Amino acid sequence: MDDHSASDEWPDFAADPWAAVECREDELRRYPGDPGAVDRLAVALLDAADRCRSRTRDGVRRITSPRQAALCERVVRRLAELTPADPAVAHRARELTAEVEHALGWSWQRPVLAVVVSAAAVLLGIGSATVAGSLGSVAAVIGCAVLAGAALAATVVAWRRRHWRVLAEEDGPMINQWGI
């Protein structure tokens, strides 16, 4: 099996890692059974993910923006379709996948306060709807339910955040090089 990576048709992709991904995608379409083509595409994808993320002073890559999160998620989805033959490439792909899955997860900020406010919204909604119902006012019951639902939704919006955003705020002072 010949090595397609040494071909003259592959320019230097230092300026645009996504162009490298496209070229490696083309190579894989031309040589679908070539494990080297799979590995080169996986490496191009991993390099593109590395280049788009921010870097701390310690050299640790971090997702610090919605665009970076979306691009890394795109890379991980494509990597999931590949089976790299090189164990080091496969390991890097698993590490990136774990990082992106964690980064896209949700966490509660000030969880105790969020629970208290949520419980209060629900109790006030149920209580006021019960009182309004005992007075025979259907409109008041509906209004109470809508207000309680809005208070609960506001609690979620105010205190539930993506992990990447929390980490970006914590690591902000440590960021040495901002990604895209």
The model's confidence at residue 10, banded by pLDDT at 50, 70 and 90, is: low
Report the relative pairing of strands 160-162 and 175-177 from DSSP bridges. Answer: unpaired
pLDDT per residue as tens digits for the range 38-89:
999 999 999 999 999 999 999 999 999 999 999 999 999 999 999 999 999 9
Q: What is the predicted pLDDT for the residue at 143? A: 87
- pTM confidence score: 0.76
- Cβ(69)–Cβ(56) below 8 Å: no
Q: How far apart are CA 18 and CA 109, in angstroms?
A: 35
pLDDT per residue as tens digits for the range 108-130:
888 898 889 888 888 888 888 88
Q: DSSP assignment, residue 173?
A: G
Domain ranges of the chain: 4-104, 108-161
The model's confidence at residue 15, banded by pLDDT at 50, 70 and 90, is: low
Structure-block tokens of residue 135: 């007075």
Nearest to 103 by CA among 162, 172, 170, 180: 162
Q: How far apart are CA 152 and CA 120, in angstroms?
A: 9
- Cβ(7)–Cβ(27) below 8 Å: no
Cβ of 164: how many Cβ atoms within 10 Å?
23
The model's confidence at residue 1, banded by pLDDT at 50, 70 and 90, is: very low
